[in-house]
Amino acid sequence: MDDIFKQISELIAAQKSAAFCVIVSASGSTPRGAGSKMLVFPDGQISGTIGGGELEQRVIEVGLQVIADGTPQVVSYSMADPERGDPGVCGGQLEIYVEPITPPPTVIVVGAGHVGRQVAVLAKWLGYAVVVSDDREEFLTDPELADVGRFHSGLLETLPEAITIHSQSFIVLTTRNVELDVAGLPALLAANPAYIGVIGSRRRWETTKAKLREAGVSAKQLASIQSPIGLDLQGETPQEIALSIMAQITMLRHGGEGGQMAN
């Protein structure tokens, strides 16, 4: 048990994902009792056991789903009749809680200009971990950014090598031109973040898309990028644009639709 919790601590420190599975109740004859624990990793490997066999394989599948969607599940199994779909013949019943272990939601702002700075400040206020990146090192010394989080000084395409990008990473490109985006986006797409948004007009994005297609980026990958970025709040100031960007990220993170509140 101590080893499981040590591994969880190491996963959190390394910003990696897993699913924590624990038998919360067991009655009758079951392979393992209440309190038995197991970790499921994204590649399907496990640490610990809740009993092995068909039961364990089913819980591994649940764990992989929980890692993918970030939503905890409670699953129940009867261990009596395989012909009706039960995962065993022991005769008992089990209830298992499966919880995602995911990295902290992180906003990575690329481009520390007027809008980028406000996105970083607002994301920090909203409780996100924040990384600010710019190839112009002097932009990272702005007093507004002093306490927002971590910094990366370098080209956009080097970002995945310097910063851990994971399933809870939301990347906001408030860059200054198309060329920077075209050079860096393929590497960001390969890192599979939760979100990539690119600032700019529709015309700018169409130009960027055309160049990315020429570079071999697929239509599916292009469709995963949000641009123009943010919800349509009709805002104009850097603060208002930052609000629209973080509103979109919050909406997508929680599965919202961006409509009028119902209640």
Per mean pLDDT, which range of 27-36, 39-48, 182-191, 226-235 is the poorest? 27-36
Domains observed in the chain: 2-101 (no CATH), 106-254 (3.40.50.720)
For the chain, the distance separating the N- and C-terminal CA atoms, rounded to the nearest angstrom, is 44
Residue 222 and residue 206 in contact, taking contact as beta carbons nearer than 8 Å: no
**pLDDT over 60 at 140, yes or no:** yes
Taking residue 57's Cβ as centre, other Cβ atoms within 10 Å add up to: 12
Taking residue 216's Cβ as centre, other Cβ atoms within 10 Å add up to: 8
Q: What is the pLDDT of residues 60-113, one digit of tens each?
A: 999 999 998 888 999 888 765 555 544 555 667 888 999 999 888 999 999 999
What ranges in the chain are assigned the alpha helix state H?
Answer: 2-13, 53-69, 114-125, 159-162, 178-190, 202-214, 219-223, 238-254
Q: Which residues, 6+ apart, have CB-to-CB distance to 90 below 8 Å?
A: 28, 29, 30, 31, 79, 80
